[in-house]
Every structure is written in C-alpha cells, then in structure tokens.
Amino acid sequence: MSSMDRTIEGDVLVRHLTRDELMIDPLLLARSGRSGRTLVKEGSLRLTIMALTAGGDMPAHSTDGPVTIHVLDGGIVVEALGREFPLGIGELVALAPRVQHSVRSAGGGVFLLTVVHEPSAGSRV
C-alpha cells in the first residue's frame, strides 16, 4: 500500500482516492477481523476507512468527541445506549461525545469513520 499525505494543505482538500489508497491491509484484516486506513488527519479531525470481516467486530469504546459511521459496502450493526442500529450501504449513524459504542458485522462491511477529537486541557489543535 502506498503512503498518503493525510493533512489538509490550504483551505480545501479534494482527494479522488485510488484503489490503492482505499486498500485495507488484507493480512491484518484476516488476522484480527478488522483493519483501517486513515484518510485525513488534520487537527482534531480524523477520517478513517474501516473494514470488518464476516464475524468481525470493534469492541465497546468511546471517544471524547463526536463520531459518525457511514457504511460504504456490506452491512454493520452499531450498538450504543443499549440499542442496536443495523446499517446498510449509504446509511450512517452519528454519536455524541462519550457515547460508548461497538460495531460488528455478520457478513463483512466497510465504513467511513469520522471522529472529532476534543482537545485535552492545555493542548493546541
């Protein structure tokens, strides 16, 4: 897989991602059931393409900032606040800061994960 410049140069970033840039590490995916690739890392913003194998999951966790999960291929189930949110291609869920959530996929799925990290005390974003 090629290396990518993940920061925003100037005021606008337009990126037409090549097949290689969208590539998920197949060995890591097979070994752990999930893999990701950061597409944008700028200040507090992170955009990561994530893949889950059939039966793959992301254990429960939370972040200090808001999160969106937008399904690009396959299907996933997001669990948050004691509820399950099944999502298919084109569907998304937005989660408020500090909402504990997990993601799983029965048949495999690919999604765009957007996270806005809240700055910690004394840090600059």
Using one digit for the tens of pLDDT, what is the confidence trace for 10-49?
677 666 666 655 667 777 787 888 888 888 888 899 999 9
Q: Which residues fall within 8 angstroms of residue 80, CB to CB, at 6 or more apart? A: 93, 95, 99, 100, 101, 102
In the CATH hierarchy, which fold is given to the domain comprising 44-116?
A: Jelly Rolls (2.60.120)
**Would you state the pLDDT for residue 1?**
43
pTM of the model: 0.80
* Band of pLDDT at residue 2, cut at 50, 70 and 90: very low
Domain residue extents for the chain: 44-116
